[in-house]
Amino acid sequence: MESIAELFTHCFEKHNKKTAISFLRGNKIESRISFHSLNLNSNKMANLFLKKGIKKSDNVVLLLDKSLIFIVVYIALQKIGAVCVPLNPGFKKSELTYLLNDAAPSMVIINHDQAGMIKQIDSSLICIKIDTKIAFQKISFFTSCSNNLEKVNFAPDDPGLIIYTSGTTGDPKGAVLTQKNLVHDAKNVIKIWGISDSDTLCHSLPLFHVHGLCFALHTALISGTHVVLLDRFDPEFVVDILKENKTDLSCSIFMGVPAMYSKLIDTFKSQSPCFDHMRLWTSGSAPLPAKEFQRITQTFGKEPVEREGMSETGMNFSNPLNGEKKPGSIGISLPGIKVRIVDPETLLDVAPGKTGEFWLKSDSIISQYWKKPEETARAFEQGWFKTGDLGKKDSSGYYYLTDRLKNIIITGGENVSPSEIETIINKLDEVIESSVLGIFDEKWGEKIVAAVVKKPTSGDISCAIKAICKEYLHDWKCPKKIIFIKNLPRNTMGKILKDDLKKIF
C-alpha cells in the first residue's frame, strides 16, 4: 500500500510545473509554488530533518502559523516517516505544557515569537524557529540541502499524524492516524466529491485540524488541485476570492463550517454576486441547521454538501454530490465504512428509525490514542469504534445526528436531548441560534437551561420562546431558565463550547 507521502510525490511528479499553491497574506498574493518546486523544497527540508537526527516514527510538533512553509515542513516530515503533531499556534502556556509533555516530541517547530514560552515549558526541547511572517521565497535555512531524498519504506500501520482531541477526563488525547487511515480517508473524499486537477480550492481553514489538513489539503495535494491558501479566515476577503471568476484564482470548491458560512452571508449588504463558477460548497465540523442550509442555497446558488467526520475516523458520512441533499442530514456512509446504531445501555442494535449511538468500522479509523490504553479500550467494543454521537437513519439510508451522548441531560430520571429543544427554539424568526444544556439541580439532578442569540432588532422574546417550547414539548423538557447572549462560545472549528456556557448560569 502506498503511503500518504508517496501519493503526494506521485502527484507532484505528474503535475510538475503546474501551480500547486498560491499563498495569500491579507488580500495580496505573497508566494506561488509549483508541484515540482514543492517536491524539491520538501525533499531539501526532509534532508535537513534527517541531518538534525529526526528519524522514522519520531514525533515532531508543528506549532506554526498557517503559511506555505508550514506545508513544506509537513510534507517533508511525511516523506521521512516522522509523525506530525500539529497544534494550534494560539495555545497558551498552560495548554501547551500538557500537550508537549504528552506528545514527547523529538523536535518542536515554532514561530519566532514562541521560543521564550517553549523554553519555560521545557528547556530541553529541540526547537527549530521559523519566521512565518516573511515570504516563503525569503526563507533559506534549508535550501542548501540536497533535493535528492532516499526512499523510505512504509507499512500500512506506520503512524503518520497525531491530532489532539478532547478527552473524556478533560485532558486532550492524541488520535494516532496511520498511513492506512490517511490514505483511505483521502481517496474516499476525492472519490465522492470528484476532486480533480481541474479544481481550485479556496482554503481558509486552520491546518491543525483534520478538516483543513486532511479533508482539504491532503485531497488537493493528491489530486493535483490548485490551492488558493488564505493565511486566515476574513469574511470580506474570502467573498472577494470566491466571486472571482476570470483569473487563475477563480475557485471551484469551498470547504467551511456553519459559522463561517454565516459570516460570509452577513457580509452581503444587498444582492449577493454570482457564484456560478463554484461547483462545490461543503459544510462540516459542526451541525448545519436546516434554515442555514436554505440561507446558503439562496445566497450561493447551490445546495451545500453537509458531511460528518471525526479526528479519530476521518470522514464518515456525506450528502451525495449529485444526488438529493437533505437539510439536517449528514448524508450516507462513505465507501468501506460499516455503521451500526446501538442502544448505549443494552449494546444491541436499535430498531430502524430509532435513535442510538453510532458505532463504526473502517480502514480510516484509528486503532489507538497516544499513550492512553484505557481511553483506547473505552472507545472500542468488539472492534467497533464508539463515536459518542447519537443519531438515526431514515428509510432512504440517510443518517442524522441528534446529539452527543455526553450532552444528554438527565432530569428527574428522564433523558433529554438538547438538540431537540434547540430545534424548537430555532424555529422562531427572531432567533439566530441557541444552545441548551443541563446544570446541577438538587431536586431534579439537572435542570434544563437555554442560551439564546437573538437578532439585534428583536425585543424581549422570552415569552415567545416559552410559548413555542410549551407548544411542541413536554413540560419537563421546557427550559427552566433562558438567558440572551451576543454570541455562543465556539472553538476554532465552530463547535459550541458547552462547558464554557455552563459557567454563565
What tens digit of pLDDT does each residue of 31-44 get? Answer: 999 999 999 999 99
In whole angstroms, give the CA distance from residue 332 to residue 391: 13
Provide the Cα torsion 16, 17, 19, 20; round to 10°.
20
In whole angstroms, give the CA distance from residue 245 to residue 299: 17
Q: Calculate mean pLDDT across residues 370-384.
A: 95
pTM to 2 decimals? 0.88
DSSP assignments along 348-415, one per residue: SBPPTT--EEEEEE-TTS-S-BTT-HHHHHHHEETTEEEEEEEEEE-TTS-EEEEEEGGG-EEETTEE
Q: Which residue has the cell 414539548?
A: 473
Q: Calculate mean pLDDT across residues 67-78.
A: 98
In whole angstroms, give the CA distance from residue 25 to residue 254: 18
The mean of the pLDDT values for the chain is 93
Q: Which helix (H) or strand (E) holds 283?
A: strand 280-283
Please check whether residue 74 is in contact with residue 57, taking contact to mean a CB–CB distance below 8 angstroms: no
Cell of 164: 489532539
pLDDT reported for residue 170 = 62
What is the domain partition of the chain in residue ranges? Answer: 406-502
Residue of 203, 161, 197 whose CA lies nearest to 23: 203
The CATH class of 406-502 is alpha beta
Confidence of residue 119 (pLDDT cuts 50, 70, 90): very high
pLDDT reported for residue 27 = 84
Summarised one tens digit per residue, pLDDT across range 287-314 is: 888 889 999 999 999 999 999 999 999 9
pLDDT reported for residue 166 = 65
pLDDT at 413 over 80: no
Please check whether residue 82 is in contact with residue 49, taking contact to mean a CB–CB distance below 8 angstroms: yes
In whole angstroms, give the CA distance from residue 437 to residue 499: 9
pLDDT reported for residue 492 = 77
Residue of 209, 64, 206 whose CA lies nearest to 128: 64
The DSSP symbol for 177 reads: E
